[in-house]
Structure formats: structure tokens, C-alpha cells
């Protein structure tokens, strides 16, 4: 097996860290050890919490954002390899949860790779086997994630999430959304807690704050204009919410981070 590693290790990223949209020819695997982050690919945003993982295929444009005022630590693996094609063509761009076995596999690959040039070649063989195991694990967890997405229990939550993602700038009434999807508002809140690890209100707030960051980074809109575009009629209330979630005001955020773009 020919394995060319660009990055393999544990990396700590500061609060509100941004890595702009980019592409590279390597496969990339990110496992979140602590904190919260998002991988953005086109119009899709995959929010990752502790214990979540995502695999990104080569030449897929993506950006990386640390969400909130806490640091985020990830185990990251960027590489090229000549594994069989069928082993490397499934499980990409899908959020995988409860996958500590993927982390264990990444740690083993890291260990074997350090000794890859041993005289007897055992580490090279072990590394090749572990790489195949890693892609089997990714494929397995990705299929589980897809099945869960389409399950009867999760289907109403997915419809609600799609609505929120498309209408976050408008007033959102969870009771109405629940009724339209033929479930109780209490059950909808339970689904959010079970599958999203946040409350419905926190999810909406998080989404609006992330959209506000985009506007603050890439446009010259005033703070009032940004507030309205992400669903807040009061700039003062928007500023208070933004500071609570990020640790800085929208104006401070623009001043500190816009120059890094």
C-alpha cells in the first residue's frame, strides 16, 4: 500500500476559528474530540459535536468553522492512498455519530504510520489492514446514519430541520411546525434533544448566528441589516444574542475576523 499523509494528529482550534473554503486532492477525515464545529460544503452545513465524525472526498470544496465561544479539538487525517476503489467510494459528506471505533482506528493508523519503515515491514502491513478497516467502519456508520435519517421516528424532525434551514429569517413557531408534521410540540422538542443534542430554540439561534457570521464576513451590511436578514427585528436583541453565543458583539466580530479573510 502506498500511503501519503499530509496531516495526521490531534489539533486544537480556537473559539470562532475560520478556515475559508478550499479544496485539496487528499481524503480528509475529521473526528471531534471536544467542542463543536461545522463543515460547510456548498449550501450544506454539517454541525459536529463531540463524538461525531465526517469524511470528505478529494476535491470537495469545504470550509471549517468552530462554533461558539469554546475551543474545538479534532483528530484529523488527510491522506492519499491506493486502496481498492470499492473501499473508498462510500460514506462521504455524511455526519456519523457515536463512532468511537473510527477514532480508535485513526489512533492505530497514527501509531503504525510512525513505524512504517521498520525493517521487517510489519507496520506497513498493519497500517494497510487498518486503513481497510477504517473505510469499512466509515461505510458502516454512514449507512446507519442514512437509515436513521429515513426512519419513521426521525422523518418529522428532518422535515422540520429543512423548513428551519430555509426560513430561519422568518418568525418560527415550533407549535405550528409540530402540528403541520402531525406530532406534538413536546415530542418535537424530545426529538431535538435526542438527535441534535440541543434544544429546538438553541438550534434556531445557532443557525441564525452562523448565518449572521457569514453576512458579517462577506458583506458590508450594517448590523441592523444583518439582524433583519437573520430573523431579528431588534438590532439590540440581536447583538445581545450574538454576544452570548460567540463572546463578542457583531461589530467586534467583524473588526476582529473580517481582516483574516
The string of pLDDT tens digits covering residues 53-62 is: 999 999 999 9
DSSP E strands in the chain: the ranges are: 3-13, 18-22, 27-34, 37-41, 44-48, 53-56, 62-66, 72-81
**Picking from 49-53, 182-186, 195-199, which range would have the lowest pLDDT averaged per residue?**
195-199
Distance CA 66, CA 11 (A): 12
Higher model confidence: residue 259 or residue 165?
Answer: 165
In the chain, count H helices and then E strands: 9, 8
pLDDT band at 84 (very low <50, low <70, confident <90, very high): low
Contact 68, 13 (CB under 8 A): no
pLDDT digits (tens, 9 = 90+) for 93-147: 888 988 999 999 999 999 998 876 666 788 888 998 999 899 999 999 988 888 7
Amino acid at each position: 500500500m502506498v500511503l501519503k499523509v499530509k496531516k495526521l494528529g490531534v489539533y486544537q482550534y480556537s473559539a470562532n476559528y475560520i478556515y475559508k473554503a478550499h479544496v485539496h486532492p487528499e481524503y480528509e477525515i475529521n473526528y471531534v474530540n471536544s467542542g463543536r464545529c461545522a463543515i460547510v460544503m456548498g449550501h450544506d452545513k454539517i454541525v459536529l459535536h463531540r463524538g461525531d465524525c465526517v469524511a470528505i472526498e478529494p476535491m470537495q470544496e469545504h470550509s471549517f468553522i468552530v462554533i461558539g465561544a469554546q475551543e474545538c479539538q479534532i483528530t484529523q487525517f488527510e491522506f492519499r492512498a491506493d486502496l481498492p476503489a470499492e473501499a473508498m467510494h462510500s460514506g462521504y459528506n455524511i455526519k456519523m455519530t457515536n463512532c468511537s471505533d473510527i477514532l480508535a482506528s485513526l489512533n492505530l493508523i497514527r501509531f503504525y504510520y510512525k513505524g512504517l519503515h521498520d525493517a521487517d515491514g510489519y507496520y506497513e502491513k498493519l497500517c494497510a489492514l487498518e486503513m481497510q478497516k477504517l473505510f469499512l467502519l466509515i461505510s458502516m456508520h454512514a449507512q446507519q446514519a442514512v437509515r436513521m435519517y429515513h426512519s419513521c421516528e426521525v422523518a418529522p424532525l428532518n422535515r422540520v430541520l429543512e423548513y428551519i434551514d430555509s426560513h430561519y429569517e422568518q418568525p418560527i413557531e415550533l407549535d405550528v411546525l409540530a402540528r403541520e408534521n402531525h406530532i406534538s410540540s413536546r415530542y418535537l422538542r424530545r426529538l431535538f434533544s435526542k438527535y441534535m443534542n440541543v434544544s429546538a430554540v438553541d438550534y434556531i439561534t445557532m443557525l441564525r448566528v452562523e448565518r449572521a457570521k457569514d453576512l458579517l464576513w462577506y458583506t458590508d451590511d450594517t448590523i441592523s441589516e444583518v439582524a433583519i436578514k437573520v430573523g431579528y427585528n431588534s438590532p439590540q436583541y440581536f447583538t445581545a444574542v450574538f454576544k452570548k453565543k460567540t463572546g463578542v458583539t457583531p461589530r467586534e466580530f467583524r473588526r476582529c475576523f473580517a481582516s483574516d479573510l
